[in-house]
Amino acid sequence: MKEVILALPTKNISKIKKLFPNELTISWLYIGDDFLKLHPIEEKLGENFKRIDISRLIDDISTDIRYDFIKWMDDVNTRNGYNIEWWFGTISGRDMDTFHIFQYICYIKVIEHIYQKHKRLPDLIFVESIELANIIEEWALKKGCSIKHLNSFVLFYRKVFTCGLYVLQWCKFLFVICIRLIAAYVSHTKHNLIKTTNHHYAIIDTFIHFKDISESGVFDDRYYPHLYEFMAKKEISVLVHPVMYGIGYRYMSIYKRMRKSKTVFLIREDFLHISDYLNALLYPIRLLCTPIKHGNLLDINVASLLKETKFNSFLFSMEAILIYRLFIRLGKTKIKPDIVINWYENQVIDKALISGVRKAFPTVQILGVQMFIHTPNTLNTYPIQSEVDYNITPDTIIGIGEFNHKKALTFTKNIKCQIGAALRYANVFCQKEENNNAFDKQHVLIILPYDLGTSVELLEKFCKAIKSIAYNNPILIKCHQCYTPKHLIDTFGKRKWLKNFTIYTGKLEDAFQQTILVVSANTSAIVEAITYGIPVIYSMRQTGLNNNMLSGLNIEFMDEIFTETELTASLIKYLNISIEKRQKFKLIGTKIRDMFFTPINDKTMTSFISLILQ
C-alpha cells in the first residue's frame, strides 16, 4: 500500500514536493481551519497537487454529530462538575475559538468517510493539531495504511515553545493585575456606591470598550441601548459590572473615566483581597494536578485532545476565578441587588458570575440576556442539561425573538426563556421607504466576519468570481472591528485588492439603503440584510465550521455557496433581478424580521424587570 505523508503546516513546501518526484497528480487534504496557513501551502504546491474539497462534507458531518457531542459533553460535565473550578475551564466552556474537540471529531469523521469511499487515504495530509495528527496516524495504522509522519522532530520543540508561551501569558496576567491595582488605587475617590434612594437595584454585567466612556465620564453601553433609560424611568438603580474588552494597558485612563461617571461601576480592585489574586494565579498548578474524567466520543479516545485543550486560554479561567470571588466579596457588603442581568454567552466568565451570585445572593434572580442570534456551531452559547443540573445557568433567559427563543432551548428544555426587546436591532424596525429609483443602485456590500483568515478566504473567492462577470461598480467592504482595514489589505495583498473595492466605515443600516446584494460569511449581519429584503450570498468555509444562522430556512433570496463557480452563478442571478422581485423580497424580509426580532416598547422592555416586579 502506498505510503501516506502526514505533516504539520510548514513554509518549507519544496521539501514535501520532493517526496513526489515522478507523480503527475497527488491528492492532498488540509485538516484545520486556518486559511492563512492553507492558502500559501496550496499556492506553493502547484497544479499537480489536487486538494480534496471537504467543504460540504464537513458541514454535513457537523450537523449529524452535534447532538452526540453535546450528550458526551453532558457526561463529562457530570463526572467533573462537583469541582467548582471545572466550570471555569476551557473544556466545560466549549468556546469554539479555544475548544476545538468538536471540530477535530468532524475532521476524523471526514477522513473515515474518504477512506470508506475510496478505500485509501489521500497521498498527503496536513494537520494543524499535533494531538489530532497522532490520533489520525494511530487510526490509519489500524486500517493497515502506511504512514510517514514528517516534522516529528518539531513536536518536542513545539511543546517546549507552548510551555514557554503559557509562562509568558501567566506573567502578562500578573502584570495586568499590577497595572489595574495601581490604576484603581490612584484613581480611587470616596463615593457612595448607591447614589440614590430608589427601592430596587440591579447589577448589569456588560463588556466595556475604551470608547464606551467619554473623558467626562458619560457611559454609552453598546450592549444594552435603551435599557438604562427604561430602568431610570422605573426608578431602578443600576450598578455596572464591567468586563474590559480591548482596553490594552489603558486602565489608568478608563478607571479615571469610571470614577467621574454618574454610572456606578463595580471596580473589582475596590473589593478583592490579595488572597483572591493568589487563588487565581495558582490556578494553572491546580489545573495541572486535576485529572479529567471522561468517556470516548463516538468511539474515539479523546484523552490526548483533552490534555492539549485544557490549557488553552487558561487566562480566561483565571479571569473567571476573579469574577467568582468578586461576587462573593460583594455578598459581604451592603450591596443587595434585586436582580443580576448577565450578558449571557455561556462563557466561563458567565458561569463564574452565576456561581458567585448563587453563593453570595442565594435569593437573587439572574437574568441571562442573549441579545444576539444563535448560530449552529457556536455551541457554547446554548445552555445544556448538565449546566442546569449544576445550577450554573440563569433563572431566566431573554431572547430577542421567537427564533432565538426556540434555539436557546435546543439542548435542554429545563430553563425558563422569555422574549424581550431586541435592544441592539432597533434599526430593523426603522427602515426607510424605498422608491423605484432606489432600486437602481448597484452597490455590492461585503460584510466581513471577526476572524481575519475567514475574511481573506471570502475575499479570495469573491475576487475570482467577480472578475469572470466584469463587474465594475463600487463594492463596499465592511471590516469587523477586530482588525483594521490596513491589516486586512496587507494580509490579503495590496496587488490583489480590486480597484472598485471601497472600505466602508459607516453604519450598516445606512449601507443597506444603497446596497442590492450582500456577500458574507460567519456574521449575524446577514439576518439584518435579509430583513431589508436584500439578497444574501453566504460563503461556506473550505475546511472550517460554518455558522449560517439562516441555514435550513429555505429563504428564496439567500444562497449558500461552496465554490467559486457557485458564487459566480449567484452573483449573476442577484445582480440582474427585476424591481418586482426586489419588492417581493422586501415583503418576505419583513416577515423574517418579525420572526427574529422584537420591537422596543414598554411591554417588551418589561421582560428585563419582570423578575423584580413579581
Cα three-residue angle 464-469-475, rounded to 5 degrees: 70
Domains delineated in the chain? 4-58+94-159 (no CATH), 174-426+603-607 (3.40.50), 443-596 (3.40.50.2000)
| Nearest by Cα to 130 from 336, 352, 280, 308 | 308
Q: How far apart are CA 526 and CA 466, in angstroms?
A: 20
Residue pLDDT, tens place only, 325-349: 999 999 999 899 999 999 999 999 9
Q: How far apart are CA 38 and CA 453, in angstroms?
A: 10
Residue 296: per-residue pLDDT: 96
Which amino acid is present at 309? Answer: T
Per-block mean pLDDT, blocks of 10 residues, the chain (614 long): 85 88 87 96 93 97 97 98 96 90 97 94 94 92 86 70 87 96 90 59 96 95 95 93 94 96 95 98 93 95 90 89 98 93 97 98 96 94 98 96 93 95 92 56 89 96 91 92 93 94 93 94 94 97 95 95 96 92 94 96 92 70
Residue 152: per-residue pLDDT: 62
Residue 441: per-residue pLDDT: 60
Q: How far apart are CA 518 and CA 588, in angstroms?
A: 16
Give the three cell numbers for residue 273. Answer: 483581597
Give the three cell numbers for residue 238. Answer: 443600576
DSSP string, 344-394: ----HHHHHHHHHHHHH-TT-EEEEE--S---TT-GGGS--HHHHHTT-S-
DSSP string, 279-291: HHHTHHHHHHH--
Q: CB-based contacts of 598: which residues, under 8 Å, 6+ apart?
A: 400, 401, 419, 420, 421, 422, 604
Residue 127: per-residue pLDDT: 95
Q: What are phi and psi of 109, to 5 degrees?
A: -65, -30
Q: CB-based contacts of 9: which residues, under 8 Å, 6+ apart?
A: 32, 34, 37, 38, 41, 126, 128
Residue pLDDT, tens place only, 294-321: 999 999 999 999 988 888 878 899 999 9
Instruction: Provide the sign of the torsion angle of the four alpha carbons 210, 214, 217, 219, taken in this order.
Output: negative
Residue 216: per-residue pLDDT: 94
Residue pLDDT, tens place only, 71-127: 999 999 999 999 999 999 999 999 988 899 999 999 999 999 999 999 999 999 999
Residue-averaged pLDDT of the chain: 92
- Is the CB of residue 593 less than 8 Å from the CB of residue 528? no
